[in-house]
Structure 1
Amino acid sequence: MKPTGAPDDHAAAPLGDGTRAVHAGLPPDEPYAPPLAGPAFAAHYHLPGDPAGAPYTYGRDGNPTWTALERALAELEDPDGTAHAVAFASGMAAMSAVLLSRVRPGDVVVLPDDGYNLLARLRERLEAHGARVRRVPTGGEEQFRALSGASLLWLETPSNPGLDVCDVRALADAAHREGALVVVDNTLATPLGQRPLRLGADVSVASGTKALTGHGDVLLGYVACRDAEVADGVRQWRKIVGAVPGPMEAWLAHRSLATLRLRVDQQARTALAVARALAERPEVSGLRHPGLPEDAAHPLAARQMRRFGCVVSFTLPDLEHAERFLAALRLVHQATSFGGVRSTAERRGRWGGDAVPEGFVRLSVGVEDTEDVVADLLRALDAADRT
């Protein structure tokens, strides 16, 4: 892939992340055509004769807008590689497709016990279907000890919401020796922050609802696989359960990729500044951000991540203190997602699915000016202390 007008003698030079994100998945230049064609709204296609080999047959099987997005996602997850990407209606649809298409009765599955809270619902489904599930915390030796006889290892790094980090390459090597498939939930890092397939994982799965699309207006998920057979399995699952993305959502997601590097760079800068400011506050405990040099996960994160993400987590003294803080915020909105252009925060304990203190806050930094976000947080902390 070469950006329009790039000199031929530099064609072999690797593209930067921003350039790749801008051009990923675009069709070859065509006179007078838009660089990114509009969404294809189609439930069916003209289909004469034998449908075998037809690129598009029915709207649940494929769509040109999905194809362009999936090509872009594969390029971002595995630059200049051979990855296969499959888009889904949501991150949960993508997660479900991987687990429920791969795991069989009697299989041993290793899952994080500190990851995304709806993963627990999938665990219940797996166990109901006869799988044996081992749950272990992210990071540390327990993940390695749980691998004996495993058929699938699921990693979430950094974990959500605790922001622990695990060694993808070492765990992938150990899991492969057991014959296990290795899946990494890459939602928080995005492919510009971390490329699990390049670290040895077999599958990278993510919610595109979060930082990938970044505007808080799209529900989307995707799976990127090194093996075409694995990709075919999740693609068939998508067809059977109908968990297909809408063409408008797929088009919006592809459009949003062009600003991905700009957004994640600004968010990473602000998140680090926020973490440093919060570290000075006596009422703040349990502060986590993998980009903070003092964070326990930083040395490992620095080895396998290229950007450290937009999320900062911390704990205030109790539920009431946290609620006063959140109510006093002006620029930072209360919302349950993360990764968007607008800064958000929430008290995660209100959902009941995460093993966190009542005063635990997950903060997602947007693309506002760094100084303004920091000032809003400090002012709200002061207000919470005075009340």
Structure 2
Amino acid sequence: MSDRYGDSTRAVKAVNSQPVPGEPVGPGPVMASAFHLSDDEGSEPNTYGRAGNPTWCQLEAALAELEGATTALSFGSGMAAITAALRVTAKAGSVLVVPADGYYQVRRFAAESLAPLGVTVREANADQIYEAAGSADVVLAETPTNPALDVVDLHRLAEICRERGARLLVDNTTPTPLGQQPLSLGADLVVASATKALAGHSDLLAGYVAGSHPELMALLERERLLSGAILGSFEAWLVLRSLGSLGLRFERQCQNAMALAGAFRHHPKVRSVRYPGLPGDPSYPAAVGQMRRFGGLVSIELPDAAAVHALVRRSELLVAATSFGGIHTSVDRRARWGDPVPDGFARISAGIEDTDDLVSDILAALDG
């Protein structure tokens, strides 16, 4: 797709990039477990619902277009996508580096499911990952990290991985393909949870893997077939429908996140604030070098857990919820889930409320 298009145009064209006369502008889901077979055996595009579905194909074509990949594969959740990618790339005897400061369930999967199979698992945070990659066979990077929002320099990391001959996988959930293009920065695979901003309405689970290495994508497709970690056709249709408004939603989320970060920066009750798009943030230099937008997440530290609960209770717009990327602005106290952060650390996922309303409401709740 031409670089001259803006984000909303890219998203709309990705959803319906090849109009067919006489076909619906917005086709519905194909909900089927079995398809008619032909006498010409093997010629059918779809045979059984675990192997393929026309709605998957539409969604996967759109995701590949947005990520700048030749192929994308949908999965039943973000974890289904990332674990499939790790099973395919990290084999017995290999060294796998996973983020020490990223999504905690990925570390658990690596330790509990891959290490017993003979994979050496090493954890590294955003500033350690470059050294760790120098002796790795597979590197998984999450950038910006969740929840601290540190940014990994993907140009630098990809160069290290190429010299080593290691595979580089990048979790692109936080910035979305409208904020960052890991494949263009040297990644071998992109993994992401479409549950978040792409689906955007806090009502489904979905994930995907995108890439341009045919052999890797074929192995992943086989892994999905055998494991059964598929996305339902109705959920695939909902994600596809949501992609059309992604540009609008993500633009407002990023705008709101930046406004909140600026408002928090000098507030007396906020001990610290992290947002990669905020000048002066430790990650700002790396972020401006590789990100087009800085995402909808802001992390702050309040005095204690009670202060986080009070913030939500006093606000008229905030909701207390885990996950992120939805239309509502949400607050998640991450120590609750075991992240190594202070009790008053909160991840705020900016929604699509009017910016002035949101900032005024949260500041009033802080001052209350």
Deviating above 4 A after TM superposition, structure 1's stretches of 4 or more consecutive aligned residues are: none
Q: Are the equivalent residues in 2 in contact too, given 1:22–1:259 (CA < 8 A)? A: yes
Of 173, 178, 191, which aligns to 2:177? Answer: 191
- Whether 1:101 and 2:91 are equivalent positions in the alignment is no
1:36 aligned residue: 26
Q: Equivalents in 1 of 2:241, 2:137: separation in Å?
A: 37
Q: Deviations over 1:36-78 (max 9, x none)?
A: 3210011010013354242111100000000000000000000
Query: Tell me, which stretches of 5 or more residues in structure 2 are unaligned?
Result: none
For residue 24 of structure 1, give the secondary structure of its aligned residue in structure 2.
Answer: helix
Q: Equivalents in 2 of 1:168, 1:122: separation in Å?
A: 24
Of 31, 40, 49, which aligns to 2:39? Answer: 49
How far 1:13 sits from its partner (Å)? 7.0
Counterpart of 2:121, as a letter, is: V
For residue 362 of structure 1, give the secondary structure of its aligned residue in structure 2.
Answer: strand
1:169-188 → structure 2 map (5 Å cutoff): 169-188=155-174
Q: Are the equivalent residues in 2 in contact too, given 1:112–1:154 (CA < 8 A)? A: yes
2:77 aligned residue: 90
Instruction: Tell me the TM-score normalized by structure 1.
Output: 0.92
Q: Are the equivalent residues in 2 in contact too, given 1:27–1:35 (CA < 8 A)? A: no
1:1-387 → structure 2 map (5 Å cutoff): 14-26=4-16, 28-78=18-68, 83-124=70-111, 125-138=113-126, 140=127, 142-352=128-338, 354-383=339-368
For residue 190 of structure 2, give the secondary structure of its aligned residue in structure 1.
Answer: strand
Q: Equivalents in 1 of 2:156, 2:224: separation in Å?
A: 31
Counterpart of 1:241, as a letter, is: S
Q: Equivalents in 2 of 1:335, 1:322: separation in Å?
A: 12
Q: Are the equivalent residues in 2 in contact too, given 1:24–1:72 (CA < 8 A)? A: yes
Q: Are the equivalent residues in 2 in contact too, given 1:318–1:358 (CA < 8 A)? A: yes
Q: Equivalents in 2 of 1:355, 1:51: separation in Å?
A: 55
Counterpart of 1:365, as a letter, is: A
Q: Deviations over 1:181-206 (max 9, x none)?
A: 10000000000000000111011110
For residue 67 of structure 1, give the secondary structure of its aligned residue in structure 2.
Answer: helix
Q: Are the equivalent residues in 2 in contact too, given 1:346–1:362 (CA < 8 A)? A: yes
Q: Equivalents in 1 of 2:43, 2:155: separation in Å?
A: 38
Instruction: Tell me the TM-score normalized by structure 2.
Output: 0.97
Q: Deviations over 1:250-305 (max 9, x none)?
A: 11111111111111111111111101111121121221001111211011101100
Q: Equivalents in 2 of 1:265, 1:182: separation in Å?
A: 28
* Number of residue equivalences: 367
Percent sequence identity over aligned pairs = 47
For residue 42 of structure 1, give the secondary structure of its aligned residue in structure 2.
Answer: coil
1:9 aligned residue: none
Q: Equivalents in 2 of 1:25, 1:145: separation in Å?
A: 40
Query: Tell me, which stretches of 5 or more residues in structure 1 are unaligned?
Result: 2-11
